[in-house]
């Protein structure tokens, strides 16, 4: 298998879709001549032309609204919202239109729309550009939410997204674009709603998604050096949610730590902890622990930003507190 970056994995999946289906087109801010804010679509404009690689004005509601209309008309648009923070400007188009049209039309209308966006902090972009809002969209029936943590999953989940008849929020993380990993040369996809055990273990289960998977794997390695074997479960999609994989893991390890980058209050981790308590209560040797971002607006100052985002030592400390 070839070893490629997270960025290249997404780029390959997009290019394959453009080549395979003439109905596929990309639309977003700076995706054409500039090559994309994160260089994912670099060179696409020259290869596929302006009809299929559309630079747009800075107007997220228009971008997503146009994508919804195109999808309803039988086209396969991939809309890029530069960061998930800007999705707030298109929340009505996403939640009240894209997510609900199939249901409200009695199944007559499909909206095969992919919305690519970038989540998370760590780039010193301050409070309004460093939020992790993917759990908001996971709360909405009618949307599917993918949160890939590796190049393999990024390509496989994006391939699966192109097979979906209704909208997918495909969430990437800016600090993962340079991450390298093995990706098969042949055709494969990663089904939605199937979590993955990224590292087996017997003493504690760490459940997480997106960039925190990589942080959790680092923490698990540190714990292993101290004699604690942590199992790391990557959710891969928040909706549909595979809760059986983490629950079965907890039944084996008897302890659980839920990790996410977003704010603790109202975070998706509370949902996971509740599901584990309901489905694996008799197996727990300790309360479900949670590690999350601090309940503050993201600071611009680098030292304060690092304090606001969960890190490897935070996870290690949470595990040690349980055992």
CATH code for the domain of 211: 3.40.50.920
- What is the arrangement of strands in the sheet containing 237-239, beginning at the earlier edge strand? 53-55, 24-28, 76-81, 114-119, 168-173, 144-146, 237-239
Q: Quickly count: other Cβ atoms within 10 Å of residue 88's Cβ.
A: 14
Say if residue 25 is in the same domain as residue 168. yes
Residues 48 and 14: their CA atoms lie apart, in Å, by 12
Q: Is residue 191 part of a domain?
A: no
End-to-end CA distance of the chain: 38
- On whether the CB atoms of residues 23 and 74 are closer than 8 A, the answer is yes
- On whether the CB atoms of residues 250 and 256 are closer than 8 A, the answer is yes
Say if residue 178 is in the same domain as residue 234. no
CA 5 to mean position of chain CA atoms: 16
Rounded to 10 deg, the angle between the 211-224 and 312-322 helix axes is: 60
Q: What angle do CA 159, 165, 168 make, to 5 degrees?
A: 60
**What pLDDT was estimated at residue 130?**
95
Q: Quickly count: other Cβ atoms within 10 Å of residue 234's Cβ.
A: 27
Q: Is residue 156 part of a domain?
A: yes
Say if residue 55 is in the same domain as residue 133. yes
Say if residue 81 is in the same domain as residue 17. yes
Question: Is residue 206 left, alpha or beta, with left meaning phi > 0 and alpha meaning psi from -120 to 50?
Answer: beta
Residues designated as active site: 60, 129
Question: Which stretches of the chain score pLDDT less than 50?
Answer: none
Alpha helices (H) along 83-180: 91, 101-104, 134-137, 151-161
| Domain region containing 300 | 196-322
Say if residue 215 is in the same domain as residue 259. yes
Where b means 16+ CB within 10 Å and e means fewer, 206-232 reads: bbbbbbbbbbbbbbbebbeeeebebbb
Domain count across the chain: 2
Q: How many residues does the chain have?
A: 323
- On whether the CB atoms of residues 213 and 149 are closer than 8 A, the answer is yes
Q: Is residue 95 part of a domain?
A: yes
**What pLDDT was estimated at residue 205?**
98
**What pLDDT was estimated at residue 116?**
98
Say if residue 203 is in the same domain as residue 163. no
CATH code for the domain of 22: 3.40.50.970
**What pLDDT was estimated at residue 101?**
97
Say if residue 123 is in the same domain as residue 61. yes
Say if residue 156 is in the same domain as residue 210. no
Say if residue 144 is in the same domain as residue 218. no
Say if residue 159 is in the same domain as residue 229. no
Say if residue 136 is in the same domain as residue 166. yes
Say if residue 139 is in the same domain as residue 50. yes
What does DSSP assign to residue 267? -
């Amino acid at each position: 298998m070839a070893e490629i970056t997270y960025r290249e994995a997404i780029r390959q999946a997009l290019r394959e879709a453009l080549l395979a289906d003439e109905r596929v087109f990309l639309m977003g801010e700076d995706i054409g001549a500039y090559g994309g804010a994160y260089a994912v679509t670099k060179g696409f404009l020259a290869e596929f032309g302006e009809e299929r690689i559309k630079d747009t004005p800075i107007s997220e509601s228009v971008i997503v609204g146009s994508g919804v209309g195109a999808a309803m008309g039988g086209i396969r648009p991939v809309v890029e919202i530069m960061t998930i923070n800007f999705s707030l400007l298109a929340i009505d188009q996403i939640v009240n239109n894209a997510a609900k049209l199939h249901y409200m039309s009695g199944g007559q209308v499909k909206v095969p729309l992919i919305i690519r966006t970038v989540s998370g902090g760590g780039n010193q972009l301050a409070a309004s550009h460093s939020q992790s809002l993917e759990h908001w969209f996971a709360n909405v029936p009618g949307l599917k939410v993918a949160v890939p943590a590796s190049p393999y999953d990024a390509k496989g989940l994006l391939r699966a997204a192109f097979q979906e008849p209704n909208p997918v929020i495909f969430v990437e993380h800016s600090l993962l674009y340079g991450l390298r990993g093995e990706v098969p040369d042949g055709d494969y996809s990663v089904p939605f709603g199937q979590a993955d055990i990224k590292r087996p273990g017997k003493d504690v289960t760490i459940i997480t998604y997106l960039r925190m998977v990589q942080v959790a794997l680092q923490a698990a390695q540190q714990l292993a050096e101290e004699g604690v074997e942590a199992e790391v479960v990557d959710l891969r999609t928040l909706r549909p949610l595979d809760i059986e994989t983490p629950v079965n893991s907890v039944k084996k390890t008897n302890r659980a730590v839920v990790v996410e980058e977003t704010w603790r209050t109202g975070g998706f981790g509370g949902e996971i902890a509740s599901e584990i308590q309901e489905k694996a209560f008799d197996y727990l040797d300790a309360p479900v622990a949670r590690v999350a971002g601090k309940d503050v607006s993201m600071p611009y100052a680098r030292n304060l930003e690092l304090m606001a985002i969960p890190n490897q030592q935070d996870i290690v400390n949470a595990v040690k507190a349980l055992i």
